[in-house]
């Protein structure tokens, strides 16, 4: 059992290291992402194999805190032609 856990930890660590290095070399996966979002998505991608653990980690990390302000938004405003 400990061997399987050790292999999973090594795989997760190597995936996280690859994502951090690729973030710095080639830029983030999404233009609006910082390093925090890259790390969290990498962790959640690895943890998602075990759905119960993903729910626990998601609650602990509060992913919504990082994800709320990273989406660009467009606001369309009607132009008024004012005389005077």
Q: For residue 70, what are the contacts with CB-CB under 8 A and spacing of at least 6?
A: 30, 32, 33, 34, 37
Report pTM. Answer: 0.54
Residue 20, pLDDT > 80, answer yes
Residue 47, domain member (yes or no): yes
CA angle 48, 62, 56 (to 5 degrees): 45
Percent of the chain with pLDDT over 70: 62
Domain that holds residue 24: 2-67
Surface-to-core class of residue 63, CB atoms within 10 Å of its CB (0-12 exposed, 13-18 middle, 19+ buried): middle
Residue 82, domain member (yes or no): no
Stretch 55-60: mean pLDDT, rounded?
64
Residue 63, domain member (yes or no): yes
> What's the number of domains the chain is made of?
1
Residue 24, domain member (yes or no): yes
DSSP symbol at 29: S
């Amino acid at each position: 059992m400990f061997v399987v856990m050790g292999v999973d930890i090594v795989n997760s660590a190597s995936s996280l290291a690859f994502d951090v290095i690729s973030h710095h070399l080639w830029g983030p996966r999404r233009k609006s992402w910082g390093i925090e979002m890259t790390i969290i998505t990498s962790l959640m991608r690895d943890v998602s194999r075990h759905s119960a653990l993903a729910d626990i980690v998601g609650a602990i990390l509060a992913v919504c805190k990082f994800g709320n302000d990273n989406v660009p938004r467009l606001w369309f405003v009607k132009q008024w032609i004012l005389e005077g």
